[in-house]
Amino acid sequence: MDANLKKLLPFALKYKNHIYMNVFFNIFYALFSTLLMVSMIPTLNVLFGLTKKVYKEPTYEGIGHIKAYAEEFLNYKITILTEENGLKWALLFVISIIITTAFLKNITNYFASYHVTRLRTGVLRDIRQKLYHKIINLPVSYYSERRKGDVMARMLGDINEVQNSFFQILELVVREPLTILFSIITMFIISPKLTLFVFAFIPISGFIISRVGKNLKAKSVKAQNENGIFISILDETLGGLKVVKGYNAEESFIKKFNDSINRLLNLSNSIGNKNNLASPLSEFLGIVTIAVLLWFGAQLVVEEHALSSATFITYIALAYTILTPAKAISKASYQVKTGLAAAERVFTLMEQENTITDTRESVDKPSFDDKITLENINFRYENENVLKDFSLTIPKGKTVALVGQSGSGKSTIANLLTRFYDVNEGVVRIDNVDVRDIKLQSLRNLMGLVTQDSILFNDTIKGNIALGKPNATDDEIIDALKIANAYEFVKDLPEGIHTNIGDSGNKLSGGQKQRLSIARAVLKNPPIMILDEATSALDTESERLVQVALENMMQNRTSIVIAHRLSTIQKADVIVVMQKGKIVEQGNHDELLSKNGTYSKLVSMQSFES
């Protein structure tokens, strides 16, 4: 069995009752389909006036003679009806048999589909659920190496593909083979000789069909990857619309997009072609089989009188009904191939190993008591070390500021403290406990984070702020907004804290967004605050107010402040000056100024600017 199919199995087994019911109804469906064909025999016989006359009601002699009994009984009924009420009534009788069988066939069809739908939609929901769980738990680093669109394509396109093909598999496994089986059994009962012919043709057709379907899987993997690329372009276009328009980059984006969808077009055409070939091919091969049957069977009828013409016509009809399921199987087998390619992509993501997780030894760390230490840290995102043998101690209750040129590794330190990334060498400790040994949830409970770019969601102001404290009251929210100096604009909004702020908060100004991010951290009220350039988008006036607010908030707290504007960190207990992943100077504002080194150079440069 295919490995991906095996992985799908547990998802399906959760709905095994629906599977059982589907199989149950499909068995009857297949049975009634065959019976519907067989019920043509008496009708044709009545029409041609070929019904064998039976005047004595037959007696039932057990299951072994059921065929003979059924035939005799029908003939008896028809004979009596024809003699007593006329041909019209006999015909009505046989037609009513057809209608009843057709009704039963279709009602079982409905119930079989009913259960398969439950199975499909359920499996779809469960896979999505599990995949989302994975996506949200994978570390930040996973996504910086990948296209977001690719992850989205797996979530949207691939899962759908899986559910469609999965549905096909179920039909493939149960209904169609049973229909074929029942038809073949009946055909065998009618004429073993002719049926052997059919058997000779099945492997030949199967071989031809599988040749055509080759490479389908590889092609569809390529198509799904391309899907990821095109979703990425769409996503980036929407996210960066202002830049795209402002730089007149529409043309180049359109070109990128067109290139991608044209590649997709070619792949889809090639996949579609193969898929489209599946059913005509099997139909044609089927007709060829039937043609041979006609030629050979006609001799049996005409020369050897082995079959009645009504039986022969029914036999041909039965052989023809095998075509529909055979077509379905060959088509499904193609779709299953593309489906499995999609499943592979879904499972690759689902099974992606998470490098930043809790282990069994992870401990709870409910409080922060003493100090944070970074000890001899070497860290790299890719090849080059971004932090080099970096050591720093942050005592509880102190404010430590990180300054330094762009790219010197300031945000990286925030990434390591919050354990978005793990160090390559060295260790980050909180109260002498390695952060890798602390439960992630517990670790992040200790920290409030205001990121360099304000990250807001399409939700109300309240919803955005209450992220770390979902059951906060309106009053608590308002207090947090006041501390962050954000309430002055929030209170003027039409619906106050219940105002929706648009996609990533784009109904707000940059400074407003930043103040909301600060309010979010304020509300969470953690012992350790990490502020990455938190005041950069504020005007001088609100910067001053936020500054005061932050200072209040930082008083009984440990803070790591990353700032470009040196005015905001003059009161910090320790200022750490970084250069290319190393500390070049360390001390408070006055100490560093008197050193007349890098820091004082930075300060004089900034006062020169302003």
Binding site for ligand ATP (CB under 6 A): 144, 381-382, 386, 406-412, 452
Nearer to ligand ATP, 145 or 475 (CB): 145
Residues 540-599 that bind Mg ion (CB under 5 A): none
CB of 602 to Mg ion, least distance (A): 16
Q: Classify residue 20 by burial, with Cβ atoms within 10 Å: 0-12, 13-18, 19+.
A: exposed
Nearer to ligand ATP, 160 or 579 (CB): 579
Residue 160: name its binding partner from ligand ATP, Mg ion, none (Cβ under 5 to 8 Å by kind): none
Outline where DSSP puts E strands in 203-290.
Answer: none
Cα gap 575→566, rounded to integer Å: 10
Q: Which two tokens stand for residue 113?
A: 């589909």
Best CA proximity match to 67, nearest among 311, 323, 306, 320: 311
CB of 144 to ligand ATP, least distance (A): 4
Question: Please, which contacts does 410-415 make with residues 24 or more away whose CB atoms are closer than 8 Å?
Answer: 410/532, 410/562, 410/578, 411/452, 411/532, 411/562, 412/379, 412/381, 412/386, 412/387, 412/581, 413/374, 413/387, 413/560, 413/562, 414/449, 414/530, 414/532, 414/560, 414/562, 415/140
Is 571:551 a contact under the CB 8 Å cutoff? yes
Span from 330-338, 444-452, 564-572, 573-581 in contact with Mg ion (CB under 5 A): 444-452
**What count of other Cβ atoms lies within 10 Å of the Cβ of residue 399?**
22
Nearer to ligand ATP, 28 or 381 (CB): 381
Cα gap 201→296, rounded to integer Å: 14
CB of 453 to ligand ATP, least distance (A): 10
Nearer to ligand ATP, 209 or 401 (CB): 401
CB of 380 to ligand ATP, least distance (A): 8
Nearer to Mg ion, 227 or 411 (CB): 411
Query: 140 to each of 144, 414, 420, 421, 470, how far by Cα in Å?
Result: 7, 13, 6, 7, 23
Residue 557: name its binding partner from ligand ATP, Mg ion, none (Cβ under 5 to 8 Å by kind): none
Cα gap 416→55, rounded to integer Å: 95
CB of 410 to Mg ion, least distance (A): 5
What pairs with residue 121 in β-bridges? none
CB of 388 to Mg ion, least distance (A): 17
CB of 390 to ligand ATP, least distance (A): 11
CB of 563 to Mg ion, least distance (A): 10
Residue 33: name its binding partner from Mg ion, ligand ATP, none (Cβ under 5 to 8 Å by kind): none
- Dmax over CA atoms of the chain, in Å, equals 125
Under 8 Å CB-to-CB from 203, ≥6 apart: which residues?
none
Nearer to Mg ion, 465 or 531 (CB): 531
CA 53, 58, 62 angle in degrees (round to 5)? 135
The number of residues making up the chain comes to 610
Nearer to Mg ion, 282 or 411 (CB): 411
Query: 448 to each of 126, 127, 245, 270, how far by Cα in Å?
Result: 33, 33, 36, 52
Residues 448-507 that bind Mg ion (CB under 5 A): 452
Q: How far is CA 136 from the centre of its chain?
A: 13
**What count of other Cβ atoms lies within 10 Å of the Cβ of residue 53?**
10
Nearer to ligand ATP, 452 or 586 (CB): 452
Residue 462: name its binding partner from Mg ion, ligand ATP, none (Cβ under 5 to 8 Å by kind): none
Nearer to ligand ATP, 162 or 450 (CB): 450
Query: 598 to each of 274, 410, 575, how far by Cα in Å?
Result: 67, 16, 12
CB of 420 to Mg ion, least distance (A): 13
Nearer to ligand ATP, 275 or 408 (CB): 408
Residues 367-426 that bind Mg ion (CB under 5 A): 411
CB of 360 to ligand ATP, least distance (A): 29
Outline where DSSP puts E strands in 465-608.
Answer: 528-532, 558-562, 574-579, 582-587
3-state helix, strand, coil in the chain (%, to 5): 65, 10, 20
Query: 134 to each of 6, 28, 230, 344, 494, how far by Cα in Å?
Result: 20, 41, 23, 15, 38
Query: 62 to each of 31, 65, 287, 305, how far by Cα in Å?
Result: 20, 6, 38, 29
Nearer to Mg ion, 452 or 504 (CB): 452
What pairs with residue 380 in β-bridges? 385
Nearer to Mg ion, 328 or 566 (CB): 566
Cα gap 389→423, rounded to integer Å: 11
Nearer to ligand ATP, 143 or 247 (CB): 143
Q: Which residue is nearest to Mg ion (CB)?
A: 411
Binding site for Mg ion (CB under 5 A): 411, 452
